[in-house]
């Protein structure tokens, strides 16, 4: 079946939506593009590119629009939406669902064999992990998502987390010495929190049941548990409230 042409008047992305709103406010104020450009200190060409959705706005541009049109932060909130959409758009299919379920969990059990889990990673460590498989800009967006996920660690009330790492995950040098020093100190700081328990399986243990791979169990007050099991090319999220068997990459 042929694909229905997209309605050109309907924004298809947050960037286009920002442009549509900017044009609507500009026209309602009776301003031409050159007039608005002069007020804001930008070129008419730039105003046109933002209105058309060709380029996304900067945070300063969004603030300038709020000041010009007295919109009480509306354009800046649209800019924040654009940033969040950009971070989510680079995530593998299914992972946004995992993030939402993670936010709702009251208890989280984590077992990791290869690297320190993303929920506990410093930005520097996370970037070193991600840049090996992602372009620099994409890696930075994914780092921002991981940092955002970590807000659950300081919420009230926070989830109770039990994290078990294979010794190899702790000792594997990711990045330079300063990156590892900062990451280990971060783990020490996290372990001091009353709701986080960190344990390490020593290499001397030899074979044990955790060797097949990493996993995370999310427990909820009024819902069945969700389990994410990691594999070689991704991870399987088993959740009765989402698409069971969907593969996501953490």
One fold for both 14-88 and 90-248? no
Q: Considering all CA atoms of the chain, what is the largest pairwise distance in Å, rounded to the nearest integer?
A: 75
Beta-carbon contacts of residue 121 (< 8 Å; ≥ 6 apart): 129, 146, 183
Provide the mean pLDDT of the chain.
85
CATH-assigned architecture of domain 90-248? 2-Layer Sandwich (3.30)
pLDDT by residue (tens digit) across 184-208?
999 999 999 999 999 999 999 989 8
Helix, strand, coil tally for the chain in percent (to 5):
50, 15, 35
pTM to 2 decimal places: 0.62
The per-residue pLDDT for 128 is 94
The residue among 49, 141, 53 whose CA lies nearest residue 92 is 141
pLDDT by residue (tens digit) across 61-106?
999 999 999 999 999 999 888 877 766 665 665 577 778 889 999 9
Percent of the chain with pLDDT over 90: 56
More confident residue, 8 or 129: 129
The per-residue pLDDT for 246 is 44
More confident residue, 169 or 99: 169
CATH-assigned architecture of domain 14-88? Orthogonal Bundle (1.10)
Instruction: Return the number of other C-beta atoms located less than 10 Å from residue 249's C-beta.
Output: 15
Q: Where are the alpha helices (DSSP H) in 90-209?
A: 95-104, 123-130, 136-149, 167-171, 177-191
Of 64-68, 109-113, 226-230, minimum mean pLDDT range: 226-230
The per-residue pLDDT for 247 is 38
Q: Is the pLDDT of residue 6 over 50?
A: no
Q: Residues 56, 58, 60, CA angle at the centre, nearest 5°? A: 150
pLDDT by residue (tens digit) across 133-168?
778 878 888 888 889 899 999 999 999 999 999 999
Domain extent listing, the chain: 14-88, 90-248
């Amino acid at each position: 079946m042929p694909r229905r042409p997209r309605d050109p008047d309907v924004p298809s992305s947050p960037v286009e939506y920002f442009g549509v709103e900017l044009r609507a406010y500009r026209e309602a104020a009776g301003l031409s593009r050159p007039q608005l450009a002069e007020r804001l200190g930008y070129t008419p060409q730039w105003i046109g590119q933002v209105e058309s959705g060709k380029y996304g706005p900067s945070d300063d541009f969004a603030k300038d629009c709020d000041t010009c049109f007295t919109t009480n932060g509306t354009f800046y909130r649209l800019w924040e939406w654009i940033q969040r959409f950009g971070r989510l758009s680079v995530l593998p299919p299914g992972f946004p669902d995992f993030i939402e379920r993670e936010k709702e969990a009251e208890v989280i059990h984590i077992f990791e064999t290869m690297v320190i889990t993303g929920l506990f990673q410093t930005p520097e460590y996370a970037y070193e992990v991600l840049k090996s498989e992602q372009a620099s800009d994409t890696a930075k967006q994914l780092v921002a998502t991981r940092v955002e996920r970590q807000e659950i660690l300081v919420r009230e009330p926070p989830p109770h987390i039990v994290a078990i790492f294979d010794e190899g995950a702790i000792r594997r040098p990711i990045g330079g010495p300063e990156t590892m020093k900062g990451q280990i100190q971060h783990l020490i700081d996290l372990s001091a929190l009353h709701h986080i328990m960190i344990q390490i399986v020593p290499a001397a243990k030899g074979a044990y049941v955790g060797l097949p791979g990493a996993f995370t169990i999310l427990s909820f007050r009024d819902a069945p548990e969700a389990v994410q099991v990691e594999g070689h090319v991704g991870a399987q999220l088993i959740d009765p409230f989402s698409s069971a068997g969907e593969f996501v990459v953490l």
